[in-house]
């Protein structure tokens, strides 16, 4: 199972260049959170060195050095102002000048950066008006020095505060419209340069509503991160928490929209999704996420394009049978992508138990990894049959004696397993927050201790247990506290689960899907 979705970067002359997305710090802001440099170190499995920084809210060209020597040389060029930097920004203010240079003294006062012309200048920026973009003005800014917030302060001082820069009197917008377009410097006798893709907001303004610009920005975020347009057959999230009302997943040729608003999509909403379908050459399903107790097999609200109720999509080389007519989701939860990769890396030669298996993505990757046994349990017979179809789709024989499928309540299965003294080396437990069956009602808040105690009894020594939950009232910290209480009865070590892909939450956001790994002592 090869990782297909990788962070996009360019390496040249001892430098790693990236097109940073807005919302990421250059380096870790506090313990436990990752910034850009930590993310790319993890991705590339090598040490990187910060040579300059971009504000968290600023997007665009950012360089890291790959050695201390290279870092010293590039840092020296930044300090001596020998690096050519070019930025773009939007403002909703118009001024008389179109090409000018501005200098001021920038200092920090009371934890804020301020600009003043009353002292000797230590910062200079050249400004050039480029064009009108809809109701806004697009400017180029070339900083000849590198003071914090320099462009933002100088733009404000000249009556054209940057759109979205409310810290410096800019009009409110969904993001700071400031982008580092390019970097250029001399290194080892050669000119090294890096230019990013133009932000969507620099193009001719075709956005009728701010929501259209936000949606376009969400798509471009995945493009900057992963080159998403080159992953047309892959499964990934294209819109996550950018909107409260919907999420969008790509499953190959299909875009699946989860609609969370109580009211149906308006004509304007549907036209917006139709434009998305045309732009990305995709077909779209829009599924209203119903309240519990309503019919989960209710009709899809809307279809765009010549859609079929069954199709196949891939995730990291594994095929999945997806369906539009079998519940609120198509059959694969993409927030488990990194966890499925982790399971495949740890399942070889282990006896694997997959609880609350749904359509058995974890079981499939375990079998492909060479697990000695794979036991799949879900209360729904329909999901068990669907799971077998996913096995067949990947060249696995569900009738092989190594594979078991049980349509049974998971708690009852665990209790029976304990009586039989059966043990597993790897257990995956991804329960719903709430569920009903003929055996009663399951609630993760009420049944957590019972579930984990029974699962730990079924875990062999040095075995691994991956637990996941989307229960919205718990944080990862709450999960740790609940697990620590179980240490009175069991000896285990809590390990960090894989980090969520950046098509989901950013590092400083609490994830909707919480995961944790236990290793039994």
SS3 category, 481: helix
Domain co-membership, 87 together with 149 = yes
Kindly state whether residue 20 falls inside one of the protein's structural domains.
yes
Instruction: Give me the residue label for tokens 């999420």.
Output: 247
Kindly state whether residue 203 falls inside one of the protein's structural domains.
no
Domain co-membership, 167 together with 267 = no
Residue that finishes a domain, picked among 180, 196, 212: 196
Instruction: List pLDDT tens digits, range 359-388.
Output: 999 999 999 999 999 999 999 999 999 999
User: Which residue pairs from 135-138 have beta carbons closer than 8 angstroms and sit at least 24 positions apart in sequence?
Assistant: 135/92, 135/205, 136/90, 136/91, 136/92, 136/163, 136/177, 136/201, 136/205, 137/90, 137/91, 137/92, 137/93, 137/94, 138/88, 138/89, 138/90, 138/202
3-state secondary structure 162-226: CCCCHHHCCCCCCCCCEEEEEEEEEECCEEEEEECCCCHHHCCCCCCCHHHHHHHHHHHHHHHHH
Domain co-membership, 57 together with 117 = yes
CA angle 205, 208, 212 (to 5 degrees): 85
CA angle 474, 387, 327 (to 5 degrees): 60
Instruction: Give me the residue label for tokens 């665009």.
Output: 60
Kindly state whether residue 400 falls inside one of the protein's structural domains.
yes
Domain co-membership, 404 together with 493 = yes
Kindly state whether residue 71 falls inside one of the protein's structural domains.
yes
Distance CA 127, CA 142 (A): 7
Domain co-membership, 98 together with 171 = yes
Q: Which of 225, 219, 232, 221 is nearest to 272 (CA)?
A: 219
Distance CA 445, CA 447 (A): 6
Domain co-membership, 288 together with 179 = no
Q: Which residues of the chain have pLDDT under 50?
A: 292-293
Domain co-membership, 240 together with 95 = no
- Residue 267, judged by CB atoms within 10 A of its CB (0-12, 13-18, 19+), counts as exposed
Other Cβ atoms within 10 Å of 89 Cβ, number: 29
Question: What's the number of domains the chain is made of?
Answer: 3
Distance CA 63, CA 73 (A): 13
Distance CA 403, CA 380 (A): 17
Question: What pLDDT score was predicted for residue 174?
Answer: 95
Kindly state whether residue 209 falls inside one of the protein's structural domains.
no
In which domain, by residue range, is 21 found? 10-196
Kindly state whether residue 291 falls inside one of the protein's structural domains.
yes
Question: What pLDDT score was predicted for residue 297?
Answer: 53
Please list the residues that pair with 187 across neighbouring strands.
190
Instruction: Give me the residue label for tokens 């900083």.
Output: 143
Distance CA 311, CA 253 (A): 9
Residues 6+ positions from 469 with CB-CB distance below 8 Å? 430, 431, 433, 444, 479, 513, 514
CATH value at residue 306: 3.30.750
Domain co-membership, 347 together with 309 = no
Domain co-membership, 271 together with 157 = no
Domain co-membership, 414 together with 459 = yes
CATH value at residue 378: 3.40.50.150
Question: What pLDDT score was predicted for residue 293?
Answer: 46
Q: pTM score > 0.85 for this model?
A: yes
Residue that finishes a domain, picked among 275, 293, 323: 323
Domain co-membership, 245 together with 353 = no
Domain co-membership, 128 together with 263 = no
Kindly state whether residue 214 falls inside one of the protein's structural domains.
no
3-state secondary structure 34-93: CCHHHHHHHHHCCCCEECCCCCCCCEEEEEEECCHHHHHHHHHHHHCCCCEEEEEEEECC
Distance CA 258, CA 237 (A): 11
Residue that finishes a domain, picked among 303, 323, 343: 323
Kindly state whether residue 215 falls inside one of the protein's structural domains.
no
């Amino acid at each position: 199972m090869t990782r297909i979705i990788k962070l996009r970067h360019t390496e040249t002359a001892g430098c790693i260049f990236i097109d940073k997305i807005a919302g990421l710090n250059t380096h870790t802001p506090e313990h436990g959170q990752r910034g850009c440099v930590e993310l790319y170190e993890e991705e590339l499995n090598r040490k990187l060195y910060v040579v300059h920084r971009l504000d968290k809210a600023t997007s665009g060209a950012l360089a890291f050095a790959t050695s201390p020597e290279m870092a010293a040389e590039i840092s020296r060029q930044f300090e001596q102002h020998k690096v050519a930097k070019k930025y773009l920004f939007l403002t909703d203010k118009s001024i008389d000048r179109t090409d000018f240079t501005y200098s001021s003294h920038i200092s920090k006062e009371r934890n804020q950066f301020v600009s003043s012309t009353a002292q000797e200048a230590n910062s200079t920026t050249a400004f050039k008006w480029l064009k009108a973009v809809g109701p806004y003005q697009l400017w180029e800014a070339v900083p000849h020095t590198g003071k914090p917030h320099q462009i933002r302060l100088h733009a404000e001082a000249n009556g054209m505060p940057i759109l979205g820069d409310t810290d410096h009197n800019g009009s409110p917008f969904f993001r700071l419209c400031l982008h580092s377009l390019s970097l250029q410097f001399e290194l080892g006798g050669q000119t090294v340069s890096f230019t990013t893709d133009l932000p969507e907001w620099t193009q001719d303004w075709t956005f009728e509503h701010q929501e259209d610009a936000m949606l376009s920005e969400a798509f471009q975020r995945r493009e900057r991160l992963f080159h998403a347009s080159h992953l047309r057959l892959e499964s990934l999230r294209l819109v996550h928490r950018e909107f409260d009302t919907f999420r969008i997943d790509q499953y190959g040729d299909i875009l699946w929209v989860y609609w969370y608003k109580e009211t149906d999509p308006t004509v304007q909403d549907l036209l917006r999704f139709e434009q998305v379908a045309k732009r990305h050459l995709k077909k779209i399903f829009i599924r209203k996420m119903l309240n519990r107790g309503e019919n989960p097999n209710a009709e899809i609200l809307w279809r765009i394009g010549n859609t079929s109720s069954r199709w196949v999509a891939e995730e990291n080389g594994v095929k999945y049978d997806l369906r539009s007519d079998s519940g609120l989701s198509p059959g694969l939860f993409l927030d488990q992508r990194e966890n499925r990769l982790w399971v495949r890396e740890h399942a070889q030669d282990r006896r694997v138990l997959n609880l609350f298996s749904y359509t058995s993505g974890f079981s499939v990757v375990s079998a492909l990894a060479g697990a000695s046994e794979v036991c799949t349990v879900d209360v729904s017979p329909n999901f068990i049959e669907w799971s077998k179809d996913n096995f067949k789709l990947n060249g696995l024989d569900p009738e092989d004696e190594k594979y078991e499928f049980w349509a049974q309540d998971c708690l009852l299965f665990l209790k029976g397993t304990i009586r039989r003294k059966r043990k597993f080396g790897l257990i995956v437990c991804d329960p719903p927050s709430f569920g009903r069956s003929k055996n009663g009602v399951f609630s993760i808040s009420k049944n957590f201790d019972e579930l984990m105690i029974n699962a730990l009894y079924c875990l062999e020594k040095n075995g691994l247990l991956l637990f996941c939950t989307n229960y919205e009232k718990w944080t990862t910290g709450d999960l740790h506290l609940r697990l620590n209480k179980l240490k009175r009865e069991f000896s285990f070590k809590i390990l960090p689960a894989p980090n969520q892909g950046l098509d989901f939450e950013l590092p400083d956001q609490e994830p909707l899907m919480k995961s944790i790994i236990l290793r039994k002592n």
